[in-house]
């Protein structure tokens, strides 16, 4: 069943951004499997709906960047999406396939793609979110639902208050503004971009923790920068290269005398 929280021994979390996407095609089963093998505490991926209402794992609103096809994801059926040749191999997976692959093996950071200005935007309906929550039944492991759209995560709290939610923000957004919103709206995670988070510093992380919340960030592939964020007390760091992240985390734990994760 969906767990309410990540385990204490998994912190600080290494979150595999679109899977082990530095070495495998992003948002594919191969990338997700490799992320687990690397020791990631959670796998992050992006969910959209096909034209026939199936949750699929694709980052962009259209398929042109990652495949030999064209068109918006929400205007293509699952069969049409599965027929595409991805630029670097693999197939566009369904959420069901991902859940079956990762259940009992790692946690999830499910980013709901329902962004204002995109053709499929439908807030406050939140069809993508609703489809994801239906699919989650039976998944074994912790789940975080995240979005840049606060309407999405507010709807998630209404429909599934047991599922953790996190507010993602881009580089131009002040992490403290995001924190105030997340705190007041009851979201346990605030997820600012790494650049403004570094500028905000240790005091910001302490402020989040003092509020009983967690802070994660994205996307960091440099080991030194990863280590700097861990030293600040950041609870989760998303990376395209989970091997680098796990190595940085284990070094951090060794310095603190915690030893390796079991």
pLDDT at residue 262, as a whole number = 38
Domain-embedded: residue 260: no
What is the average pLDDT across 82-108? 95
List alpha helices for 8-89, DSSP H. Answer: 29-38, 78-82
How many domains is the chain built from? 1
Domain that holds residue 10: 2-255
Alpha carbons 262 and 12: distance in angstroms, whole number: 14
E strand residue ranges, the chain: 2-3, 13-17, 42-49, 55-57, 107-112, 141-147, 164-169, 189-192, 214-217, 236-239
Catalytic residue numbers? 17, 59
| Residues in CB range of 231: below 8 A, 6 or more apart | 252
pLDDT at residue 1, as a whole number = 58
CA 19-20-24 angle, 5° bins: 105
Domain-embedded: residue 245: yes
Number of residues in the chain: 262
CATH number at 196 reads 3.20.20.190
pLDDT tens for 97-116 read: 999 999 999 999 999 999 99
Helix axes 95-102, 29-38, angle to 10 degrees: 20
pTM listed for this prediction: 0.95
pLDDT at residue 87, as a whole number = 84
What is the average pLDDT across 79-93? 92
């Amino acid at each position: 069943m969906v767990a309410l929280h990540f385990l204490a021994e998994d912190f600080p979390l290494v979150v595999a951004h679109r899977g082990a996407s530095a070495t495998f095609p992003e948002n594919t089963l191969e990338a997700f499997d490799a992320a687990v093998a690397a020791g990631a505490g959670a796998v992050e991926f992006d969910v959209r709906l096909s034209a026939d209402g199936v949750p699929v794992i694709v980052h962009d609103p259209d398929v042109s960047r990652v495949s030999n096809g064209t068109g918006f994801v929400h205007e293509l059926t699952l069969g049409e999406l599965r027929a595409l040749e991805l630029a670097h191999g693999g197939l566009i997976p369904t959420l069901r396939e991902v859940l079956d692959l990762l259940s009992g093996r790692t946690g999830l950071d499910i980013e709901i793609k329902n962004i204002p200005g995109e053709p499929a935007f439908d807030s406050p309906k939140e069809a993508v979110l609703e489809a994801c929550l239906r699919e989650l039944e039976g998944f074994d492991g912790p789940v975080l639902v995240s979005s840049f759209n606060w309407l999405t995560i507010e709807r998630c709290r209404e429909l599934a208050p047991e599922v953790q939610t996190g507010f993602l923000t881009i580089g131009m957004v002040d992490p403290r503004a995001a924190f105030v919103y997340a705190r007041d709206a009851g979201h346990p995670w605030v997820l600012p971009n790494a650049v403004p988070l570094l500028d905000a510093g240790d005091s910001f992380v302490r402020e989040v923790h003092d509020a009983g919340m967690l802070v994660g960030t994205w996307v960091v592939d440099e080991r030194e920068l990863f280590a700097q964020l861990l030293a600040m007390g950041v609870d989760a760091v998303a990376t395209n290269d989970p091997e680098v992240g796990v190595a940085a985390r284990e070094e951090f734990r060794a310095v603190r005398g915690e030893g390796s994760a079991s």
